[in-house]
């Protein structure tokens, strides 16, 4: 098969010799173009062409550079594997690109660590070396288009532009009306990542079998002892979530095919069977408990058994919708025929304990430091639950956090009066006399630093992604771009400066003009440096990818304020309009939705 010189990036211009000289815009365009070709070949079931295109992609300079970029910019970049090696310099990153070769590749064992789970148990993680992580990222670039083209419609975990909110909205659609299903099978797979059959993976995952076998059999180092891996794909690897997703693909489509053969098309529709899955957690709805227990559950157990998996006996149960069930941190329950989705008690209690631990371990820190520690936690939890009926829970949580902070303040000044403590730590702002705030002690002295007010979060109805969306299909490109920008703007809604910059740039980096996402991250750059008299005004600031920000400084580049695109103007109008009020399945009537 012919390989274009533009794709390899070597014949015409030669490979960049330094990390800073890599043209990331061209790299992203090259990789995405090949991924679209892989997705198209997968849709046509042309597996020989899929294999050839995957081989071309994994051998290209662009894909290798993007793989190294991913593992050196994500949250785990400072965590080493068993070789204690990190790629933390531009020189090491550039040399790592040339080291990513399939021939002679032998992965090193994983470093085993354990992290606590909400139920008191521990979750095992396997940490690969930097080189093994980069190799996984490289082959993931070639495997993900296949995974997206073959995934179930209502599978939402670890997929581009899909989130837990989409799964929650799909369940709302399946359960909210009177004619919908009344019974739910809450399914939980026992140790999914640790028990997937290696034989099944090697027979059914369309990627380089030798590389996959080496990863699966690489072993684990725990407390200095080597352990063989006989089954499973360890949590912690970049490619592991995609392997797990592909293992469970067919759960939804296969079940509906089985029921159609058993009952016929018309009767199957009347059974109201729906499968909603997020990673290895899934629920199945049905019109009767007997259908779920006697027909669907045995089929699911057989489906999982082929893959070396089993249902957890303790966590798998059949529940009536009026009794409610928990899924993804929410409680789904009908009250007098009206479905309400609320943050579940377990999730709220876990969050409160996290906040309390943060406060109790920072009894001697300054108020400003405590606020900066708490704000990301509070904001993240509130934004996660803002799409459900969470107003009462938010108000209760705000009250509990206020009590914690009042006790924290009184403890620091046990001999002072309550009035003195109030004046010292609380301010009157925006109609409230009890805002936990202080002055910024840094460069913005005089500017208030205040605690994020969880009670003022607007409840916004989530707009579910279209089930047929494929991020690697060209006909969905425009839809995906608008969806990504709208959701990112929504996440930045409580960070007004960043939100304004993001909208003004059309959701793209001001240097490379490629999309800014949660995965890429972003830096806030001053066009005229503050040391040179530049201001903090938005007209002097742009958002850049972290790597673009580094290249801008190292290469002495400059950027100008980008012009506002048409799509950005539309998004800016969305952000500026008051959201219309809609009624959503028994919520309090204050659920706001983004304008259409």
If you write DSSP's letter for every residue of 253-283 in order, what string do you get? HHHHHHHHHHH-HHHHHHTT-EEEEETTEEE
- The pLDDT of residue 594: 27
Within-domain flag for 112 = yes
Q: Do residue 418 and residue 452 come from a single domain?
A: yes
**Does residue 588 carry a pLDDT above 60?**
no
Q: Which two tokens stand for residue 78?
A: 């400072």
Within-domain flag for 585 = no
- The pLDDT of residue 42: 96
Instruction: Write the pLDDT tens digit of every residue in 183-202.
Output: 999 998 988 888 899 999 99
Q: Do residue 257 and residue 308 come from a single domain?
A: yes
Within-domain flag for 74 = yes
**Does residue 241 carry a pLDDT above 70?**
yes
- The pLDDT of residue 320: 95
- 26 burial level (CB within 10 Å; 0-12, 13-18, 19+): middle
| CATH number of the domain to which 498 belongs | 3.40.1800
Within-domain flag for 1 = no
Q: Do residue 222 and residue 125 come from a single domain?
A: yes
Measured CA angle at 425 (ends 439, 458), to 5 deg? 80
CA pair distance 113, 321, nearest whole angstrom: 38
Mean pLDDT of all residues belonging to the chain:
85
Largest CA distance in the chain: 81
Within-domain flag for 7 = no
Report the run of H or E that residue 122 belongs to, with start and end.
strand 122-127
CA pair distance 393, 399, nearest whole angstrom: 10
Q: Do residue 103 and residue 172 come from a single domain?
A: no
Q: Do residue 156 and residue 213 come from a single domain?
A: no
Which is more confident, 550 or 412? 412
- The pLDDT of residue 496: 72
Q: Do residue 163 and residue 44 come from a single domain?
A: no
- The pLDDT of residue 318: 95
Domain boundary among 316, 343, 370: 343
Which is more confident, 494 or 222? 222
Under the banding of pLDDT at 50, 70 and 90, the label for residue 313 is confident
Name residue 113's beta-bridge partners.
Answer: 125
Q: Do residue 398 and residue 430 come from a single domain?
A: yes
Instruction: Write the pLDDT tens digit of every residue in 427-449.
Output: 988 778 899 998 875 554 557 88
Under the banding of pLDDT at 50, 70 and 90, the label for residue 459 is confident
| CATH number of the domain to which 278 belongs | 3.30.70.270
Q: Which two tokens stand for residue 366?
A: 């300054």
Q: Do residue 251 and residue 317 come from a single domain?
A: yes
**Does residue 425 carry a pLDDT above 90?**
yes
CA pair distance 216, 406, nearest whole angstrom: 52
- 32-56: average pLDDT: 95
- The pLDDT of residue 442: 53
Q: Do residue 44 and residue 65 come from a single domain?
A: yes
Instruction: Write the pLDDT tens digit of every residue in 488-503.
Output: 877 776 677 777 888 8
Q: Do the bridges between strand 460-461 and strand 591-593 make them parallel or antiparallel, or are there none, so unpaired?
A: parallel
Tracing tokens 């208030």 back to the chain, one arrives at: 448
Q: What is the reported pTM?
A: 0.83
| Residue from 482, 320, 455 nearest 400 by CA | 455
Q: Which two tokens stand for residue 351?
A: 């969050």
- Supply the range of the domain harboring residue 308: 151-196+234-343
Q: Do residue 356 and residue 501 come from a single domain?
A: no
What b-and-e string marks burial along 194-207, b requiring 16 or more CB atoms within 10 Å of the CB? bbbbbeebeeebbb
Q: Which whole-number Å values give the CA distances from 447 to 325, 437, 438, 492, 529, in the listed order?
A: 45, 10, 8, 20, 20
Q: Do residue 145 and residue 258 come from a single domain?
A: no
Within-domain flag for 9 = no
Q: Do residue 146 and residue 278 come from a single domain?
A: no
**Does residue 10 carry a pLDDT above 60?**
no
Lowest mean pLDDT among 79-83, 352-356, 443-447, 458-462: 443-447
Please count the structural domains in the chain.
4
Within-domain flag for 594 = no
Within-domain flag for 280 = yes
Instruction: Write the pLDDT tens digit of every residue in 282-295.
Output: 999 999 999 999 99
């Amino acid at each position: 098969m012919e390989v274009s010189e533009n794709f390899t990036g070597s014949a015409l211009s030669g490979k960049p010799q330094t990390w800073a000289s890599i043209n990331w815009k061209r790299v992203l365009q090259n990789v995405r173009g090949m991924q679209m070709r892989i997705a198209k070949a997968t849709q046509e079931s042309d597996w020989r062409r899929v294999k050839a295109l995957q081989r071309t992609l994994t051998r290209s300079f662009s894909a290798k550079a993007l793989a190294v970029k991913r593992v050196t910019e994500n949250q785990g970049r400072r965590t080493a594997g068993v070789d204690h090696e990190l790629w933390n310099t531009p020189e090491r990153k550039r040399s790592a690109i040339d080291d990513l070769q399939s021939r002679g590749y032998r992965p090193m064992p994983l470093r085993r660590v354990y992290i606590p789970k909400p139920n008191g148990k521990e979750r095992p993680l396997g940490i690969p070396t930097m080189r093994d992580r980069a190799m996984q990222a490289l082959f993931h670039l070639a495997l993900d288009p296949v995974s997206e083209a073959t995934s179930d419609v209502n599978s939402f975990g670890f997929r581009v532009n899909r989130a837990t909110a989409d799964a929650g909205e799909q369940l709302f659609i399946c359960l909210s009306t009177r004619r919908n299903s009344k019974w739910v099978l809450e399914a939980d797979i026992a140790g999914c990542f640790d028990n997937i059959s290696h034989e099944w993976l090697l027979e059914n995952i369309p990627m380089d079998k030798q590389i996959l076998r080496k990863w699966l059999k690489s072993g684990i180092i725990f407390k200095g002892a080597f352990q063989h891996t006989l089954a499973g794909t360890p949590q912690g690897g970049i490619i592991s979530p995609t392997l797990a997703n592909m293992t469970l693909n067919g759960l939804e489509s296969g079940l509906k095919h089985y029921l159609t053969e058993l009952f016929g098309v018309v009767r199957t529709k009347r059974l109201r069977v729906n499968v909603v899955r997020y990673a290895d957690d899934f629920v199945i709805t049905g019109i009767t408990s007997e259908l779920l227990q006697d027909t669907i559950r045995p089929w699911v157990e057989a489906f999982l058994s082929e893959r070396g998996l089993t249902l957890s006996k303790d966590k798998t149960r059949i529940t009536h919708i009026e009794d409610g069930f928990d899924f993804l941190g929410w409680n789904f329950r009908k009250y007098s025929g009206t479905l309400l989705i609320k943050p579940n008690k377990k999730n709220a209690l876990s969050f409160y304990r996290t906040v309390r631990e943060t406060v109790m371990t920072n009894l001697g820190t300054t108020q400003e430091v405590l606020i900066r520690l708490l704000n990301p936690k509070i904001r993240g939890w509130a934004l996660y639950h803002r799409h459900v009926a969470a107003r009462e829970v938010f108000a209760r949580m705000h009250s509990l956090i206020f009590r914690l902070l009042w006790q924290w303040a009184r403890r620091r000044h046990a001999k002072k009066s309550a009035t003195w403590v109030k004046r010292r730590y609380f301010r009157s702002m925006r109609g409230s006399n009890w805002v936990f705030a202080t002055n910024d002690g840094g460069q913005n002295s005089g500017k208030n630093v205040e605690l994020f007010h969880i009670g003022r979060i607007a409840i916004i109805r989530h707009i579910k992604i279209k089930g047929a969306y494929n991020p690697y299909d060209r006909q969905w490109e425009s839809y995906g771009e608008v969806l990504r920008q709208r959701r990112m703007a929504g996440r930045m809604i409580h960070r007004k400066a960043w939100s304004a910059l993001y909208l003004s740039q059309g959701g793209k980096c001001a240097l490379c003009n490629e999309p800014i996402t949660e995965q890429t991250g972003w830096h806030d750059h001053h066009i005229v440096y503050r040391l040179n008299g530049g201001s903090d005004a938005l007209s002097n600031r742009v958002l850049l990818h972290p790597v673009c920000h580094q290249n801008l400084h190292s290469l002495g580049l400059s950027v100008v304020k980008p012009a506002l695109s048409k799509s950005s103007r539309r998004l800016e109008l969305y952000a500026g309009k008051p959201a219309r009020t809609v009624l959503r399945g028994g919520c309090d009537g204050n659920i706001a939705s983004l304008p259409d």
